[in-house]
């Protein structure tokens, strides 16, 4: 039976092409989703360009998936067909390894890798997922609009709620793109004094409409000095994808401030004095697990936090991917599956 369609990459650097497939049957602890929408994320380039060694091809990218459970494997407990669910970067967790038992399921020792990278993802009409990777999706949320909350959303939401800042503290969101435009909304709704930092003034009015009370143009001002002039940041959510931009803002941390690095920029340098005299820290943050996704979705629904998206049909995944990679999309790109 070939009633499923998937957009596959057949080799590193290959183009996305449509492949008819048999509808997959879930085994063990897996479920099968009928996919409604899947966001297109910069991390999909790991699969498409083959930046990660040892990947198996062909592969279906996509880790911002919303769908409905169609069938469940014989060992699945707690989920049933008809439930609407999301799947993000995390491919699930075993619940019995040391990391899982210490509450660090994101680093599960048994279920490793990532959705759409080491196992097939959501650029498809159907997809298998481990039941532990599922997040419940509130009925009020639209699948296409909400799909990016499973990666861009959870990453910023979760970094913010673990950044150490409290209500009223000054939190800077550096970069107003796919991550940053969500980060500003989450920061404002989590009760922080939210400062948006970006190059130029183009996105200032948008940033303010999303909840930023202050704006720093990093072309005109040294962002570190500008943050110090405001008292120093209790946290900086660093979403930028450029290492010079990343290192230019570390000096804006205030006393006990933490910079949460969620943009991958490779190596960058830090002035140790800027950290030690303020007891400040630079910390990496992994997006989160399925229950973090569920919290993100519920918080977004309750506070009417929305992602700005450009929508493409599944079969135009290559164009959608190129649009996302161009950096020009406002702000996320989402694939909509045929009904």
Footprint of Zn ion (CB under 5 A): 41, 43, 93-94, 97, 100, 108, 110, 151
Length of the chain: 339
Q: How far is the CB of 231 from Zn ion (least distance, A)?
A: 33
Residue 169 or 292 with smaller CB distance to Zn ion? 292
User: Residues with Cβ < 8 Å from 219, sequence gap 6 or more?
Assistant: 199, 200
Cis geometry, peptide bond prior to residue 12 (ω within 30 degrees of 0): no
Residue 130 or 234 with smaller CB distance to Zn ion? 130
Q: Are 314 and 5 in contact (CB under 8 A)?
A: yes
Residue 110 or 213 with smaller CB distance to Zn ion? 110
Residue 228 or 241 with smaller CB distance to Zn ion? 241
Q: How far is the CB of 64 from Zn ion (least distance, A)?
A: 6
Task: Tell me how far apart the alpha carbons of residues 288 and 313 are, in angstroms, rounded to a whole number.
Answer: 28
Q: DSSP string covering 6-69, please?
A: EEEB-STTPPPEEEEEPPPPP-TTEEEEEEEEEEE-GGGHIIIII-STT--SSB-----EEEEE
Q: Name 64's bridge partners.
A: none
Return the residue nearest Zn ion (CB atom).
41
Q: How far is the CB of 94 from Zn ion (least distance, A)?
A: 4
Q: How far is the CB of 234 from Zn ion (least distance, A)?
A: 26
Task: Tell me how far apart the alpha carbons of residues 267 and 265 are, in angstroms, rounded to a whole number.
Answer: 7
Residue 190 or 293 with smaller CB distance to Zn ion? 293
Q: How many CB atoms lie within 10 A of CB 97?
A: 16
User: Residues with Cβ < 8 Å from 233, sequence gap 6 or more?
Assistant: 170, 171, 172, 195, 227, 252, 253, 254, 257
Q: How far is the CB of 131 from Zn ion (least distance, A)?
A: 14
Q: How far is the CB of 5 from Zn ion (least distance, A)?
A: 22
Residue 52 or 94 with smaller CB distance to Zn ion? 94
């Amino acid at each position: 039976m070939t009633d499923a369609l998937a957009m596959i990459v057949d080799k590193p650097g290959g183009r996305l092409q449509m492949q008819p497939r048999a509808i997959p049957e879930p085994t063990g602890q897996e479920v099968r989703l009928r996919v409604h929408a899947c966001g297109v994320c910069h991390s999909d380039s790991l699969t498409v360009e083959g930046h990660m060694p040892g990947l198996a091809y062909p592969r279906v990218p996509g880790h911002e998936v919303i769908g409905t459970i169609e069938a469940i494997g014989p060992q699945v407990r707690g989920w049933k067909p008809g439930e609407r669910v999301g799947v993000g970067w995390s491919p699930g967790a075993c619940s019995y390894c040391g990391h899982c038992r210490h509450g660090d399921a994101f680093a599960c020792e048994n279920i490793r890798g990532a959705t759409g990278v080491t196992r097939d993802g959501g650029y498809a009409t159907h997809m298998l997922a481990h039941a532990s990777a599922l997040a419940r999706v509130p009925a009020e949320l639209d699948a296409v609009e909400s799909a990016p909350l499973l990666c861009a959303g959870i990453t910023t939401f979760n970094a913010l709620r673990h950044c150490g800042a409290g209500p009223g503290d000054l939190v800077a969101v550096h970069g107003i793109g796919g991550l940053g435009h969500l980060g500003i909304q989450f920061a404002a709704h989590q009760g922080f004094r939210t400062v948006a930092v970006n190059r130029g003034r183009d996105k200032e009015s948008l940033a303010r409409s999303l909840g930023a009370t202050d704006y720093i143009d990093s072309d005109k001002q040294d962002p570190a000095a500008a943050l110090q002039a405001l008292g120093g940041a209790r946290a900086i959510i660093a979403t930028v994808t450029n290492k010079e931009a990343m290192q230019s803002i570390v000096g804006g941390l205030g006393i006990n401030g933490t910079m949460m690095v969620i943009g991958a920029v490779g190596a960058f340098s830090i002035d140790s004095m800027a950290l030690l005299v303020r007891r400040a820290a630079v910390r990496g943050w992994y997006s989160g697990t399925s229950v973090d996704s569920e919290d993100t979705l519920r918080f977004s629904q309750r506070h009417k936090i929305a992602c700005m998206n450009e929508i493409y049909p599944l079969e135009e995944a290559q164009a959608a991917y190129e649009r996302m990679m161009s950096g020009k999309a406002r702000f996320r790109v989402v694939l909509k599956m045929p009904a």
